[in-house]
Structure 1
């Protein structure tokens, strides 16, 4: 059994083969590009979320001094209030002693 190909058959087969290879490559590149687009979109979404978290953190840092009193500040203010109460108590005590001494 003998198979004979003429030149135009061979050229046609080669063109069909390279056409299939080209189409396969084109499809493969399209899938690769689609996958890259998905990854970039995911990265962009992550970056957007990170920026949102950073913005919320900055807002929180700006509001924190308005909503929070440090322990040292609270102790200092309590000490001042207690000293004033002690001063008022001693004045009342002195006033009571004076009124007892006058009577």
Structure 2
């Protein structure tokens, strides 16, 4: 969070539109578990983009929208010209129970 705020402050003088777009990137950080990890990873990639290329507001907007719309990170990788991540295997749990007693399998 400190890295993000420092970037907003730094860019506020240089490019207000870039700073505003960076503030909007705060939407990437949300939830818990996998969602939180994905958001933090996306934010790190956004900050790396700004540190390496200086960035511009239009490109940052494209990157932000890509990160928010694709939970698997493919769109974000394409927007950043990075390799597309492979799908992650998720185990399936089969739970037997009595639905009449209110037990709902996940």
**Which category describes the TM-score, using the shorter chain as reference length?**
under 0.3
